[in-house]
């Protein structure tokens, strides 16, 4: 019983870590895309 429980908690922690990685990965991707968009718009203004 104890071994089974520790195995489940390990899987649970791994799932949480993966969820955080995906979450921050998507936020970072969108953030970088928006930053690049702003830089392009600023370049257009200079022209």
Write the pLDDT tens digit of every residue in 23-37. 999 999 999 999 988
Q: Which two tokens stand for residue 42?
A: 């600023």
Question: How does residue 9 score in pLDDT terms, banded at 50, 70 and 90?
Answer: confident
Question: For position 18, what pLDDT does the model report?
Answer: 96
Percentage with pLDDT > 90 across the chain: 49
Q: Quick one: pLDDT at residue 44?
A: 67
Domain boundaries, the chain: 22-47
SS (H, E, C) 1-47: CHHHHHHHHHHHHHHHHHHHHHHHHHHHHHHHHHHHHHHHHHHHHHC
């Amino acid at each position: 019983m104890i071994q089974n429980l520790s195995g489940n908690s390990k899987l649970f922690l791994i799932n949480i870590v993966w969820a955080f990685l995906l979450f921050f990965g998507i936020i970072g991707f969108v953030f970088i895309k928006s930053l690049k968009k702003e830089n392009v718009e600023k370049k257009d203004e200079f022209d």
